[in-house]
Amino acid sequence: MFLASPKKLRSFGIIGMNQRNFGLISRYNPRHLYPLVDDKLKTKLLAQQAGITVPKLLGTLHYQHDVKLLKEILHPYDQFVIKPVKGSGGKGILVITQHDHNLYLKPSGDAIQLADIERHVSNILSGLHSLGGKPDSVMIESLIQLDPVFSGYSYEGIPDIRIIVFRGYPIMAMLRLTTHASDGKANLHQGAVGVGIDIATGEALHAVQYGETVLHHPDTRKTFSELAIPHWDKLLQLAAACYEMTGLGYLGADLVLDRDQGPMIIELNARPGLSIQVANYAGLAPRVAVIEALHAIDPNPQARATFSKKQFSAATNTHAPRLQHTRCDDPR
Amino acid sequence: MHANLRFYLLVILVMGLGVGLILYKHFVLGFPLLPDDKTPVWTIEAKIDFSARGGPVVVSFALPSETPDIVFIKEDFASPDYGFSELTSPSGRRAQWSKRTATGSQIAYYRLSMYETDQITSPTAADLPSEPEKPEFDEVLNTAAITLLDQVRNRSANTEIFTRELITTLNSKVPSQNQSLLLNERSSEDYKTHLIINLLALEGISARIVRGLYLEDGRRRQSLTNFVEVYIGGQWLLFNQNSGVHGKPENFLIWQRGDESLLDVVGGKNSQISFSIIRNLQSTRNLVVHDSMNKQAGIIDFSIYSLPIEQQNAFKIILLLPIGALIVVIMRLLIGIRTSGTFMPILIALALIQTTLLTGIIIFLTVVGTGLLIRSYLSRLNLLFVARISAVIIVVIAIIASISIISNKLGLDQAMTVTFFPMIILSWTIERMSVLWEEDGPREVLIQGGGSLLTAVIAYLFMSNRTVEYLSFNFPELMLVNLAFILLLGQYTGYRLSELYRFHSLERRNVSGKP
Least confident of A131-140, A171-180, A193-202, B377-386: B377-386
Q: Which residues of B touch A92 (CB under 8 A)?
A: 439
For B248, other C-beta atoms within 10 Å of its C-beta total 17
**Quick count: other Cβ atoms within 10 Å of Cβ A137?**
19
What chain A holds in terms of domains, given with CATH numbers, is 6-40+147-329 (3.30.470.20), 56-141 (3.30.1490)
Percent of all residues in chain B with a pLDDT value above 70, rounded to a whole number: 92
| B contact set with A (CB within 8 A) | 333, 336, 382, 384-386, 435, 439-441, 444, 491-497, 499-510, 513-515
Quick check: B167 and B226 in contact, CB under 8 A?
Answer: no
* Rounded-to-5 percentages of helix, strand, coil across chain A: 35, 25, 40
**Residue type at position B401:** A
Mean pLDDT confidence for B193-221: 85
Amino acid at position B415, single letter: A
Q: Nearest chain A Cα to B502, which residue? A: A211
Give whichever of A93-102, A253-262, B74-83, B127-136 has the largest mean pLDDT: A253-262
User: Could you say which DSSP state residue A154 is in?
Assistant: -
Task: Express each pLDDT in A17-61 by its tens digit.
Answer: 888 988 889 889 998 998 888 888 999 999 988 888 899 999 999
Rounded (10°) CA dihedral B92, B95, B101, B105: -110
- The whole-angstrom separation of Cα A312 and Cα A318 is 9
Distances (CA, A) of B316 to B357, B458, B463: 19, 19, 11
- Cα distance between residue B409 and residue B393, in whole Å: 24
**Averaged pLDDT, A134-159:** 86
Starting at the edge strand that comes first in sequence, how are the strands of the sheet with B103-116 ordered? Answer: B70-78, B103-116, B38-53, B268-283, B219-222
Task: Please name the amino acid found at residue B9.
Answer: L
- The predicted-structure confidence for B118-168, as pLDDT tens digits, reads as follows 766 655 545 677 777 777 777 888 888 888 888 888 888 888 888 888 888
Q: Which of B382, B425, B506 to mutate to test the interface with A (most CBs of A within 10 A)?
A: B506
| Nearest C-alpha in A relative to B508 | A4
Among the ranges A122-126, A138-142, A277-281, B505-509, which has the highest mean pLDDT value? A138-142
* Residue B455 neighbours by CB under 8 Å, 6+ apart: B327, B328, B331, B337, B339, B345
Share of chain B above pLDDT 90, in %: 9
Q: Provide mean pLDDT across the span A292-303.
A: 89
A321 in B contact zone (CB under 8 Å): yes
Q: Which of A289, A198, A270 is nearest to A235 (CA)?
A: A198
For B285-334, give the DSSP string: HHHHHHHHHHHT-HHHHTSGGGS-HHHHHHHHHHTTHHHHHHHHHIIIII
Residues of A in Cβ contact (< 8 Å) with B508 = 1
pLDDT at B328: 92
- Closest approach of B384 to chain A, Cα-based (Å): 7
Q: What is the mean pLDDT of residues A75-102?
A: 84
Cα A27 to Cα A251: distance, rounded to the nearest angstrom: 12
Q: Check whether A236 has a pLDDT greater than 90.
A: yes
Residues in chain B: 515
- Across B358-381, average pLDDT: 86
Nearest Cα residue to B197 out of B145, B123, B155 = B145
Kind plus residue range of the DSSP H or E element containing B71: strand B70-78
Do B503 and A6 count as a contact with CB atoms less than 8 A apart?
no
Q: Is the pLDDT of residue A172 over 50?
A: yes
**A330 — pLDDT class (breaks 50, 70, 90):** very low
pLDDT > 60? residue A63? yes
**8 Å CB contact between A225 and A234:** no
Q: Are A196 and A205 in contact (CB under 8 A)?
A: yes
**Count of pairs with CB atoms under 8 A, one residue in A, one in B:** 100
The pLDDT, as a whole number, for residue A50 is 86
Q: Is the pLDDT of residue A139 over 90?
A: yes
Residue B433 · residue B344 · CB < 8 Å: no
**What is d(CA A149, CA A139) in angstroms, rounded to the nearest whole number?**
28
**Nearest alpha-carbon partner for B127 in B183, B184, B65, B77:** B65
Largest CA distance in chain B: 119
pLDDT at B327: 92
Chain B residues closer than 8 Å to A321 by CB: 514-515
DSSP secondary-structure letter at B246?
A: B
Say yes or no to pLDDT of B408 above 60. Answer: yes
In the structure, what pLDDT confidence band is assigned to residue B515 with cuts at 50, 70 and 90?
very low
pLDDT of residue B84: 87
What pTM was estimated for this model as a whole?
Answer: 0.67
Q: Average pLDDT, whole number, for chain B?
A: 82
pLDDT for A129 equals 77
The CA-based angle A157-A158-A159, given to 5 degrees, is 120
DSSP B434-500: HHHHHHHHHHHHHHHHHHHHHHHHHHHHHHT-HHHHHHHHH-TTHHHHHHHHHHHHTT--S--HHHH
Per-residue pLDDT at B513? 37
pLDDT for residue A22: 84
R_g of chain B, CA atoms, integer Å? 36
A160 three-class SS: strand
Least confident of A125-129, A226-230, A284-288, B418-422: B418-422
Nearest-Å Rg of the Cα atoms of chain A is: 20
Q: How confident is the model at residue A255, as a pLDDT?
A: 92
Identify the DSSP state of B229.
Answer: E
Mark B63-89 as b/e (b = at least 16 C-beta within 10 Å): bbeeeeebbbbebebebeebeeeeeee
> For residues B40 and B123, what is the distance between their CA atoms, to the nearest angstrom?
25
What does the alpha-carbon distance between residue B143 and residue B140 come to, in Å, rounded to a whole number? 5
Are A125 and A64 in contact by the 8 Å Cβ rule? The answer is yes
Q: According to the model, what pLDDT value does residue A323 have?
A: 34
Average confidence score pLDDT of chain A: 85
Note which residues in 85-114 of chain A have CB less than 8 A from chain B. Answer: 91-92
Which of helix, strand or coil describes residue B278? Answer: strand
Alpha helices in chain A (DSSP H): 6-12, 17-19, 26-28, 34-38, 40-49, 70-74, 114-126, 232-246, 275-280, 285-292, 301-311, 320-329
The predicted pLDDT at position A196 comes to 92
| DSSP character string of A252-277 | EEEEEEETTTEEEEEEEESS--SHHH
Name the pLDDT band for B191 (thresholds 50, 70, 90). confident
The complex's ipTM works out to: 0.74
Average pLDDT score over residue span B373-394: 82
* Closest chain A residue to the Cα of B495, Cα to Cα: A16
Q: Identify the closest residue of chain B to A93 by CA–CA distance.
A: B439
Ranked by mean pLDDT, the top range of A246-260, B54-68, B265-279 is A246-260
Confidence of residue B415 (pLDDT cuts 50, 70, 90): low
CA distance A10 to chain B (A): 9
Lowest mean pLDDT among A96-105, A275-284, B327-336: A96-105
Q: Is the pLDDT of residue A329 over 50?
A: no
Q: Is the pLDDT of residue A241 over 80?
A: yes
The whole-angstrom distance between residue B395's C-alpha and the CA centroid of its chain comes to 47
Nearest to B49 by CA among B274, B253, B326: B274
Q: Find, in chain A, the residue whose alpha carbon is nearest to that of B428.
A: A133
